[in-house]
Amino acid sequence: MRLIAHRGFAATAPENTIAAIRTAAEYADAVEFDVRRCGSGELVVIHDDTIDRVTGSDGTVADSTLEDLKTHTVLESGERVPTLEEMLDALPPRVEVNLEMKDSDIAADVLEAIEDVENRVVTTSFLLPELETIREIDRSQPTGLLVSRRLETPVTTAVELDCDVIGANYWRCLTTGLVSRAKSVDLEIHAWSLERRATAKLLEWRGVDCVSADRPLQV
């Protein structure tokens, strides 16, 4: 089983920052981060649609220019909100990337940004149109469907989207038939977000391929 550093281990580092992924890569097989489009058009790495929680200021990412975003630090760490290009340039070698597309209409630009990245990048999203766009442009790009609570047929949907990966809350992986159904159609299975090694071991026994955590776990 492989370990994914959720937002670069958000419980132990300033989330979604270059410093976080560099440190996380020492302990994890993959790093996960979130991508949105800011008000001046660039793709930036930030989870929320507002800047309030991570910067202590007010505003939305969509209304903030890159210049505005760079005036703030993330969780008082001294780290700035990185652009997608900055984050990709800072990737340690060999670590896998789970890149979650948080906004609509960014898939084509994400593909362009990762075109020359040597690390394996899995483009994931809850947004079905973004996954459809990735597949329309590049049949070889690994994609992952992130399963919302409202999605009643996750495995069927992932197959219809020609995904390589399906990601779901760890409790859903433990209490439903999702894992066995995904395994039957050769989908790689990711479970989020864990706090305990014992839970990871139980998920491994169920057949989950990767677990996502906010802190290093021995898996």
Which amino acid, one-letter code, is at 78? G
Distance CA 24, CA 97 (A): 12
Mean pLDDT of all residues in 174-192 = 97
The predicted structure's pLDDT at residue 119: 97
Banded pLDDT at 195 (limits 50, 70, 90):
confident
pLDDT on residue 218: 77
**Residue in 13, 69, 9, 6 with CA at minimum distance from that of residue 37:** 69
Residue-wise pLDDT tens digits, 93-147 = 999 999 999 999 999 999 999 999 999 999 999 999 999 999 999 999 999 999 9
3-state secondary structure of 51: coil
Residue 186 has pLDDT above 80, yes or no: yes
| pLDDT at res. 166 | 98
Tokens coding 66:
């890159």
Beta-carbon neighbour count of residue 8 at 10 Å? Answer: 26
Strand pairing report for 165-169 and 188-194? parallel
Mean pLDDT computed over every residue of the chain: 97
Tens-digit pLDDT profile for residues 147-161: 999 999 999 999 999
How far apart, in whole angstroms, are the C-alpha atoms of residue 199 and residue 62?
A: 37
pLDDT tens per residue across span 52-70: 999 999 999 999 999 999 9
| Full-model pTM | 0.96
Asked whether the beta carbons of 72 and 51 are under 8 A apart, the reply is yes
Both tokens of 61, joined, read 């990412």
Could you give all domains of the chain from N- to C-terminal order, each with its CATH number?
Answer: 2-213 (3.20.20.190)
Give the separation between CA 195 and CA 169, rounded to whole angstroms.
13
Confidence of residue 19 (pLDDT cuts 50, 70, 90): very high
pLDDT at 111: 98
Residues in Cβ contact with 214 at an 8 Å cutoff, skipping those fewer than 6 apart = 6, 7, 9, 10, 11, 12, 193, 195
In order, the DSSP letters of 87-140 are: HHHTPPTT-EEEEEE-STT-HHHHHHHHTT--S-EEEEES-HHHHHHHHHH-TT
